[in-house]
Amino acid sequence: MELYADASSGAQLNPFATLKSLLYRRRRVTRSVVKRTHQSAKTVRTCRQLLKVEPALWLFVQIEGVEPTNNAAERAIRPAVIW
């Protein structure tokens, strides 16, 4: 598999570069689903919605240091929810 080609050679993998590559491929597939006319309307709608919000979903991949989860926000409101 080309994704792991560098790992077999002993080269150090960059997880951010690998994830960016995977996201690029996923975006191409999502766009191709939208273009196909034989896909179900629900699938096309879902793909269009994903393409609209995609930059926000994957910001943590583009900017190093951005957390991929909302754990900090969840912990901040936890006392109010438990009370």
Q: Is the pLDDT of residue 79 over 80?
A: yes
Q: Is 83 helix (H, G, I), strand (E, B) or coil?
A: coil
pLDDT in tens, 11-53: 566 666 777 777 778 788 877 877 776 778 888 888 888 888 8
Return the domain boundaries, the chain.
Answer: 2-82
Q: Is the pLDDT of residue 2 over 60?
A: no
Q: Any idea which residue has 């939208």 for tokens?
A: 34
What's the CA gap between 11 and 2, in Å, rounded?
A: 13
Residue 80: pLDDT band by 50, 70, 90 thresholds?
confident
pLDDT of residue 4: 46
The CA-atom distances, in angstroms, between 50 and each of 16, 36, 42, 59, 80 are 21, 16, 12, 14, 32
Over its C-alpha atoms, the chain yields an Rg (Å, rounded) of 18
Q: What's this model's pTM, rounded to 2 decimal places?
A: 0.46
